[in-house]
Each structure stands twice: as C-alpha cells, then as structure tokens.
Amino acid sequence: MKLENNVAHFTSPLYLESGRILEPYKIAYETYGELNEDASNVVLVCHALSGSHHAAGHYEGDKKAGWWDELIGDGKAIDTNKHFVISTNVIGSCFGSTGPMHNNYPSHNLFRLKFPVLTIKDMIKAQKQLLSQLGIHHVKAIIGGSMGGMQALQFAVDYPNFSDKIISLASTYATQPWAIAFNKVAVEAIRRDPRFENGQYDKDAFKENGLDGLAIGRIAGHISYLSPDSMNKKFGRNYVNNDGLFELFGRYEVERYMEYNTDNFSKNFDPLSYLYIVKAINTFNLSRGYDSLYDAIIRIKAETILISFKGDYLFFPREMEHIHTMMQRNKQTSSYYEIDSNYGHDAFLVEIDKFDSIIKETLEN
C-alpha cells in the first residue's frame, strides 16, 4: 500500500460557525493508494476524538499501525488497490493540524485559550478546503465512526452533492445529555488540575509524566467506550497478582488497565486540544442552522449507511435508527445495521470483522 504523509497550508481565512476567523491554518493528512485519472475513486476517512490522520499502515520504526489498519489497505474492505483514501487530522487536534498550542499569527504567542471554539461544521469546512486544494471536488464516499461519523453526517447535510455515499458508524444526530455528562468529568478533571495552569502550561509539559486531570477524565471516557459485558469478559473479578487484597490501593485488573491506558494517553494528547474537541462533540447537532432536524435530514442526497452497535452505551443504537427512520419516511436512500456486539462504543475500532463486509459491499456496489 502506498502511504504518504503531508501537511497542507492555507492562507485564506476559514470562517467559523462562531463568527470568528482562523487564518492562517494547516491540516495534516495521509493518503493511501493512487488517485485515478478522473478522480472518481476518492474515499475520505474521518477520525474520532482521540484519533489522528494516521488511519492505516505503519510509520518506520513504529510497532503500532494506524487506528483503522484492519479496514484500510490492499485487498481490505476499503481497498487501496481500488480507492484513493484520504485521512485528515481535524483542526483543533494536537497531531499536526492547527490547534490551541500553535502560534496565534502574526504573534509568536501560542493560542492557548484564545483559540476559537470549533464545531463539527468547522472541521468539515476545513477538510473540504483541503480537498479543493488537492483538486478534488467530489468524492465516492465519506466514512467515519463516533466523532468521525458526526463529520460524515455533517458533510451529507451541509454539502449534499459532494459525496456519493456516506457511511457513519457509532454516531448520532445530536450529542445527548448522557454523553455530555461523561465528557464533563474529563473537562472538570483537566480544569481543576493545578498543573493545567488555566492553559498556561509549557508546550510539551506533560510528555514525561502526563497530566493527572486528563488521565482521570480519560478513565470516564474509557468506561463509556466499553460495556458491562465486555468488561466482565475481559477482566472478570481478577485481582492483580502482586497487589494484596487487603492493601487499600490494591487493584483489580480492570483498575490496572484503566491506569495504564489513561496514563499513556495523558502523555501523548494535549489537554487543551482534548477540551476543544470535546466541546465540538458536545455542541454537535445536525439541526443547527436549519429549522428542524427534518429540514437538515431532507437535504441528504447521498446513499447513507448507518451502523450502530448493540452494546454502545455512549451513542445508543436508537439514535442512528432515528436518522434511518426519517430518511425512509422521506424516501431517501438509506440502510441501517445494528451490529450484535457486547463490546461497547469502541466496537467500531475493534470488531472490524462484524461490519467490514458492509463497507466493502457499499464501496464496490
């Protein structure tokens, strides 16, 4: 598989939904495969909260593959022998695109909390600018899970003629209070951590030891991404062998798992980026800017594939099914699949074998 890693720079202003302007800005992105002569084989992949543009393949010396490597590649469901796949890093992130820890042009001071609040609409507008710069004005499909699924749906509503197919997994039409409440744990844990310093911390301040507030908040996130059944299956009531049962801070295996994963995450993800992206997720609402959800959904012209997971306790299957029901009433082209899974929200990253055939068939139909 041919993999290329790039950064695109933009000097024209990006007008944001808040009324503010981002200028200049940059977007990190990767491409996989080859663009055909008439540019009709483009598939845009959108990432979730903690993801990046590194969706597939390996970097030199890197043991861990991209986050959807099982799905994207030569001969895989998103076949890079046939499709030219573009994966972008959203603005506001900390993996190469312009975010709160970049310079607030024309000064050399970092944006920090002066960075504008972003929305999913802003993220896809920036991606569309990237594609235009690459000479791509229409795509075959847009695919994403969780926040990536939000982006795919927003593309379908805001730019109805831009993509032939929309595939949204484990997402929703508007973030509900249950999900916002989980996000609130992370927001408050970060804000109340003294080392956060109200966003005035040094760049790369947490590379070695991480930020405790982000680690704690990420534990809440992990709980929402899994399910009771998946936790029972993965950990049971197993206790860490070297920890005494009657030691106050002795741990069950599930506790050690949370510590290990969240500590590493807090070293690699910038806390300000986390806050800004969580805000974009919380404010996601397909109906904003339109008179109603019906008026937003009726704009969709693309063939729309909606995939939910039975054990998802963050974005419940009924939320995706609601979109499908509306589209069916409007006689729009949509398909809905509820995957039988006990894994939880993260099933879209883990249980690829349960839905890859749906994506393959959709792209090759």
**CATH number for the domain harbouring residue 147:** 3.40.50.1820
Confidence at residue 64, expressed as pLDDT on a 0 to 100 scale: 87
pTM: 0.96
Claim to verify: residue 125 and residue 251 sit in the same structural domain: no
Claim to verify: residue 206 and residue 293 sit in the same structural domain: no
Claim to verify: residue 161 and residue 50 sit in the same structural domain: yes
Claim to verify: residue 191 and residue 300 sit in the same structural domain: no
pLDDT at 299 over 90: yes
The answer to whether 83 is a known catalytic residue is no
Measured between alpha carbons, how far is 286 from 91 in angstroms, rounded to an integer?
19
Residue 59 pLDDT grade (very low, low, confident, very high; cuts 50, 70, 90): confident
pLDDT at 60 over 90: no
Could you tell me which of 88, 76, 68, 86 has the C-alpha nearest to residue 140?
86
pLDDT at 63 over 90: no
pLDDT at 61 over 90: no
Confidence at residue 213, expressed as pLDDT on a 0 to 100 scale: 97
Measured between alpha carbons, how far is 22 from 11 in angstroms, rounded to an integer?
9
pLDDT at 48 over 90: yes
pLDDT at 365 over 90: no
Measured between alpha carbons, how far is 149 from 348 in angstroms, rounded to an integer?
10
Give the domain-ending residue among 224, 252, 280. Answer: 280
pLDDT at 162 over 90: yes
Give the domain-ending residue among 280, 299, 330. Answer: 280
Claim to verify: residue 9 and residue 121 sit in the same structural domain: yes
Claim to verify: residue 217 and residue 120 sit in the same structural domain: no
Claim to verify: residue 339 and residue 225 sit in the same structural domain: no
Q: Give the three-state DSSP class for 337.
A: strand
Claim to verify: residue 271 and residue 344 sit in the same structural domain: no
pLDDT at 334 over 90: yes
pLDDT at 197 over 90: yes
The answer to whether 146 is a known catalytic residue is yes
pLDDT at 193 over 90: yes
Claim to verify: residue 117 and residue 247 sit in the same structural domain: no
Claim to verify: residue 40 and residue 120 sit in the same structural domain: yes
- Angle of the 253-268 helix axis to the 212-225 helix axis, nearest 10: 120
User: What mean pLDDT do residues 14-30 have?
Assistant: 97
The domain total for the chain is 2
What residue has token string 């839905």?
A: 355
Active-site residue among 122, 212, 312, 346? 312
The answer to whether 341 is a known catalytic residue is no
Claim to verify: residue 332 and residue 185 sit in the same structural domain: no
Confidence at residue 243, expressed as pLDDT on a 0 to 100 scale: 95
Claim to verify: residue 24 and residue 136 sit in the same structural domain: yes
Q: Give the three-state DSSP class for 169.
A: strand
Could you tell me which of 238, 262, 241, 243 has the C-alpha nearest to residue 185?
262
Residue % of the chain over a pLDDT of 70: 100
- Which amino acid, 125? K
Active-site residue among 79, 324, 345, 346? 345
Active-site residue among 87, 97, 146, 230? 146
The DSSP element (H or E) to which 9 belongs, if any, is strand 3-10
The DSSP element (H or E) to which 240 belongs, if any, is none
- 219 Cα distance to chain centroid: 18
The residue range of the domain holding 328 is 3-175+285-364
User: What mean pLDDT do residues 148-172 have?
Assistant: 98
Q: The domain spanning residue 183 has which CATH number?
A: 1.10.1740.110
Give the domain-ending residue among 280, 296, 319. Answer: 280
